[in-house]
Amino acid sequence: MEFIRITDVEKTYPTGVTAVYGLNLNIKKGDFVFIIGASGSGKSTVMKMLYREEKPTHGQIVIGGVRVDKLRNRKVYKLRRKIGVVFQDFKLLPKMTVYENVAFVLEMFGYTKSEVRAKTLKALDLVGLKEKVKNYPDELSGGEQQRVAIARAIVNAPKLVICDEPTGNLDPDTSLEIMKVLEVINNLGTTVIVVTHDRDIVNKMKKRVILLDKGKLKKDFEKGTYDKNEKH
């Protein structure tokens, strides 16, 4: 079933720079998709338009039947309750424990204390950090910090998780571990989109790969394998 539909999307910034040209993409519910491309290819702009940090200049973006591009600003929070976002630099709150960093999201949404506890522990268990609930971010490895960030992104059971270079600061082995965590989440039915430049990870995971070049769709690979000489 189609979950995300991007139709004739173009994004031109106030500076006059056009980052995305006439993009058309369909992503099915439950897909695991990599978006790759060189710096300036438009991949981060696409990600930002999906969770409405940016709006397209032209075209349509539909997620789960909702026209994201037409969503009023005061209703964007409703969209973001259904989307988890993971960043390269983790964005954890240093003075909060692992538990508090994840629970904070649910507290903002008004869940009861018992609901917060149950959902937070479930998310941390899923990413393998249930034993680290009382630790602070600076007591964790980079990979563990990213797992906390993933737990925070999935704690509200979003239908979509978007990751922006989630392994950019991690070594190859840890990067693969993080991808396997995302695969577990995907296997539970969550649609996962990963923006990355890590060719090795992409090919090891053998998922769908969307290659952008200078703001345009260049190729769409089914299994994440492509000519090693392919520029991106």
Residue 176 falls inside a structural domain: no
Q: Which residues of the chain have pLDDT under 70?
A: 224-232
- What pLDDT score was predicted for residue 1? 72
Q: Given this model, what pLDDT does residue 228 score?
A: 52
Same domain as 97, residue 74: no
In this predicted structure, what is the pLDDT of residue 229?
A: 54
Q: How far apart are the first and last CA of the chain?
A: 29
| Residue pLDDT, tens place only, 33-59 | 999 998 889 999 999 999 999 999 999
The range of the structural domain enclosing residue 140 comes to: 89-157
One domain for residues 76 and 99: no
Name the pTM for this structure.
Answer: 0.92
Q: What is the total count of domains within the chain?
A: 2
Specify the DSSP element, H or E, that contains 221.
strand 216-221
pLDDT of residue 54: 95
Contacts 24+ apart (CB under 8 A), 118-124: 119/155, 119/156, 119/157, 120/151, 120/155, 122/155, 123/151, 123/152, 123/154, 123/155, 124/98, 124/99, 124/148, 124/151
